[in-house]
Chain A
Amino acid sequence: MFRPLIIIRRIPNIDFMGLHRLGFALSALMTLGSIVLFLAQGLNYGIDFSGGTLIEARTPGPADLARMRSTLDGLGLGEVSLQSFGGPDDVLIRVARQPGDDRAQMQAVAKVKAALPADIDYRRTEVVGPKVGGELIQAGVIATVLALVAIALYVWLRFEWQFGVGAMLSTLHDTVTTVGLFSLLQIEFNLTTLAAILTIAGYSVNDTVVIYDRVRETLRKYKTMDFRTLINKSLNETLSRTILTVSTVALAVLSLLFFGGAVLRGFSIAMLWGVVVGTYSSLFIAAPILYYIRPRRASQPKEGETPPAETQRVS
């Protein structure tokens, strides 16, 4: 039997509340920055949302991007972008949305395929008409907003409204900054990215809930402890768990990032950011917010809430 490696042997005493102003400032800056970036340069929408055509092709031997580009530019299909994708033989061809109806999009594919040499292997072809793209954006926005509201409601029901507000704000912060990151790096924003954002929302609340659970417990245990100490105590007591959990999730995400292939790259980047920022926001936003909108202290006297540490429970 081997001994576990215990990183935090004694409960630490970090003054999280002392750092919270810094955290608020940083978060406000990141959130504002994200909004400005989103408005100024927008997102690099994948064809799922913008409509248009995407072709992943594999050329025999390294692809001559310049020549392919000049061939395709001559077709008069508007903006055509080429980029290598994964290996040197793989090319991602993106054709902007064609003016006209959904039929025009389909014809563009035929034109591209006819213009390129015959020995190219088309690994993937995706054509999305403008109609579907618009609907997907709408559904995506609705899903995200509903997720935030549902999460806030759930936390409110299980805790109190102050916790609901805190959870929603910190989750909102995480989703907004993820969008900001995608705008900043101009990584393709597609349906899978959207899935990542919703998962981030779920994960972020997960993390927040664990901490809130501890805050609530401490609130009931120490009826007179001041809020500042109380929040600090809760965060420190759960810190070991926070670090271990963020590590295991990050390990899973990192293996997706490095081994999951090019298709999942955007998803993995979003998730990696989400895991980090989700943890950060639980510590520096969700918990300190409670300091400002204080939950009521003496809550309904229920079984299990009064015993201080020394009371033995009968097992």
Chain B
Amino acid sequence: MLYFPKWLVTLILAICLAGVVMTIPNLFAQQTVERWPAFLPRKQVSLGLDLRGGSYLLYEVDMRSVLTERLNNILDGLREAFRTARIGYTGLAAEGDHVAFTLREPERIEEVRATVKKLDPDLEMTAGATGAVTLKFNDVALQRVQQQIVDQSIEIVRRRIDETGTKEPTIQREGADRIVLELPGVEDPEFVKRILGKTAKMTFQLVDENAAPGDKSRLPAGDEILPLKDSHGAPGATIVVQKRVMVSGDTLTDAQATFDQYGAPAVNFKFDTVGARRFGEATKSNVGKRFAIVLDNAVISAPVIREAILGGQGIITGSFTSESANELALQLRAGALPAPLVALEERTVGPDLGADSIHAGALASIVAVILVVVFMLVFYGFFGLFADIALMFNLCLMMATLSLLGATLTLPGIAGIALTLGMAVDANVLIYERLREELRGGRSLISSLQAGFERAFGTIFDSHLTTLVAGFLMFFLGSGPVKGFAVTLSIGVVTSLFSAILITRLQIVTWLRRTKPKTIPI
């Protein structure tokens, strides 16, 4: 315990040196550090949103709407298939997460099974004896779809956020179906929330002029009634359009906010080659008719086709303000979200409060350090100095580890640092108390020191490990502030184990060698 091989001394000193060196960038402003030459350490502790200011948004991808949409497609597909195969059925409908219907001729069940399989292999079919059939997506398929939808959503969210010019956004999946957005510096997330608030699914569909809106019972097959929200549509107005999509919005390559010939805000769009060709063909064969521009299941404009539109470009006019035109253009450029996003949580901290929190946290930590340092000096004198030096290295090692890991420092995290400093000297207290005890027991100096370190080690190890257990649980089960706290607490436990055991011991051993004292001032 009192012998340090050369390599260990070197290692300890190297770690301490590295800790100090890597702490240094944290003492300077970020802009200053960025100008430093590359050989200097430049990693800083990244500050959490509660310290630097910004917005945290938690969204859930609404899978139900995706499921409903898919089930409705299945319904359409089944109707079509049953009609061509002349299979009789009743009560075909989507209910919750499944499709149900009853066969008129239950003996044709195998035929139905084949039809369903062809329609969508992911469907699981359960058939009752009376011809009652339910169709459900199997779990594997559902999970796969969810994975895809969430991945796509994250991609689209990222593109939309990038379009807003937010710097250093963090966009991450959380759990199975959630997306976390961290937007540093965003003080008012209203705009972000608005542009994420719509899926912006756009399609171009033909208007069915022959069908009267409002008469649901005589709606021709293949048509649907949609709300009409263009500039002259009265509130509650509807329009009948064909379900078949002429061209869909995913073939758009660009969209910009602009003004129409009357100076009203409008959105200009451009198709890719496939979209342009399809749009050209569709408009060519439907001159004189109206087509509907459908956005999120509402018709925002229904202009008359005067001539074939072959250039692959168009303009949407309607009831836009310049803001909403901008938003729509942005959403169309970035692409449609595969499913609506539901906001679950929002936390925004202004930069002033963040700065205040940093000051308060730093002040509290500094006061804590000073108090603990003085306390140790008062109660342990010269040996207290050893503990204090170890404590300073401990602080540096914590900061260095946080910088190195790229961990995020939050306000509770700062509390964790202050608290760890208070707890870190416990190891020294244990060693020193033991030392005093052994000396009182009449042991020689060397053997007292030996016993002090040795006996205290087990205790220190046990007590640190139990704190680490609590830290790990907080990290894995906690969220946000709790996580930030858990990180600093756990790192602090490890570094204080190192500093109290090795750094303190090394100091004492070196001092013993140099001065060869007869008694210990403790």
Which residues of chain A have a CB within 8 Å of any CB of chain B? 1-7, 11, 56, 58, 101-103, 106, 109-110, 121-129, 131-132, 136, 139-140, 142-143, 146-147, 150-151, 154-155, 158, 191-192, 194-195, 198-199, 201-203, 205-207, 209-210, 213, 217, 237-238, 240-241, 244-245, 247-256, 258-261, 263-264, 267-268, 271, 309, 312-313, 315
Q: What is the count of residue pairs linking A and B with beta-carbon distances less than 8 angstroms? A: 255
- Whether A264 contacts B349 by the Cβ 8 Å rule is no
What B residues does A210 contact at CB under 8 A? 430, 459, 463
A147 and B353 alpha carbons, distance in the complex (Å): 33
- Whether A151 contacts B353 by the Cβ 8 Å rule is no
A128 and B322 alpha carbons, distance in the complex (Å): 32
Q: B488: shortest Cβ distance to chain A, in Å?
A: 11
What B residues does A151 contact at CB under 8 A? 466, 469-470
* Consensus secondary structure, chain A interface: helix
- Whether B348 contacts A312 by the Cβ 8 Å rule is no
A206 and B353 alpha carbons, distance in the complex (Å): 35
Q: B49: shortest Cβ distance to chain A, in Å?
A: 10
Q: B179: shortest Cβ distance to chain A, in Å?
A: 13
- Whether B353 contacts A124 by the Cβ 8 Å rule is yes
What A residues does B348 contact at CB under 8 A? 122, 124-126
- Whether A252 contacts B422 by the Cβ 8 Å rule is yes
Contact of A191 among B353, B440, B478 (CB under 8 A): B478
For the complex of A and B, list the 6 residue pairs with the smallest distance between their C-beta atoms, beginning with the closest. Answer: A252-B422, A261-B360, A202-B470, A4-B381, A255-B367, A143-B477
A210 and B514 alpha carbons, distance in the complex (Å): 33
* Consensus secondary structure, chain B interface: helix
The interface stretch among B234-242, B281-289, B479-487 is: B479-487
A207 and B467 alpha carbons, distance in the complex (Å): 10
- Whether a CB of chain A sits under 8 angstroms from the CB of B304 is no
- Whether B482 contacts A191 by the Cβ 8 Å rule is yes
Mask for B444-487, Cβ within 8 A of A = 1, else 0? Answer: 00110011000100110011111101110110011111100110
- Identify 25 residue pairs between A and B in the complex whose beta-carbon atoms are under 8 Å apart, listed by A's number: A1-B382, A101-B342, A102-B343, A124-B349, A128-B344, A140-B478, A192-B485, A195-B486, A198-B482, A202-B467, A202-B469, A203-B423, A206-B463, A209-B459, A210-B430, A247-B375, A248-B425, A251-B375, A252-B422, A254-B371, A256-B419, A259-B360, A259-B367, A263-B360, A315-B450
- Whether A147 contacts B473 by the Cβ 8 Å rule is yes
Contact of B383 among A4, A11, A122, A140 (CB under 8 A): A4
Q: Which of B403-420 contact A (CB under 8 A)?
A: 411-412, 414-415, 418-419
What B residues does A205 contact at CB under 8 A? 463, 466-467
- Whether a CB of chain A sits under 8 angstroms from the CB of B2 is yes
What A residues does B26 contact at CB under 8 A? none
What B residues does A124 contact at CB under 8 A? 347-350, 353
Q: Which of B15-74 contact A (CB under 8 A)?
A: 50, 58, 60
A121 and B350 alpha carbons, distance in the complex (Å): 9
**Given A127-B343, A129-B344, 7 extra CB contacts under 8 A:** A4-B378, A127-B347, A192-B481, A201-B470, A205-B466, A245-B425, A248-B422
Contact of B478 among A3, A139, A259, A315 (CB under 8 A): A139
- Whether a CB of chain A sits under 8 angstroms from the CB of B95 is no
Counting chain B CB atoms within 10 Å of each CB, the highest count among A4, A101, A155 belongs to A4
Counting chain A CB atoms within 10 Å of each CB, the highest count among B50, B368, B414 belongs to B368
A217 and B456 alpha carbons, distance in the complex (Å): 12
A250 and B425 alpha carbons, distance in the complex (Å): 12
- Whether A123 contacts B463 by the Cβ 8 Å rule is no
Q: A160: shortest Cβ distance to chain B, in Å?
A: 14
Known: A248-B375, A256-B364, A315-B446. A271 touches B478 (CB 8 A): no
A143 and B458 alpha carbons, distance in the complex (Å): 27
Which residue from chain A places its CB closest to the CB of B358 in the assembled complex?
Answer: A261
Q: A275: shortest Cβ distance to chain B, in Å?
A: 9
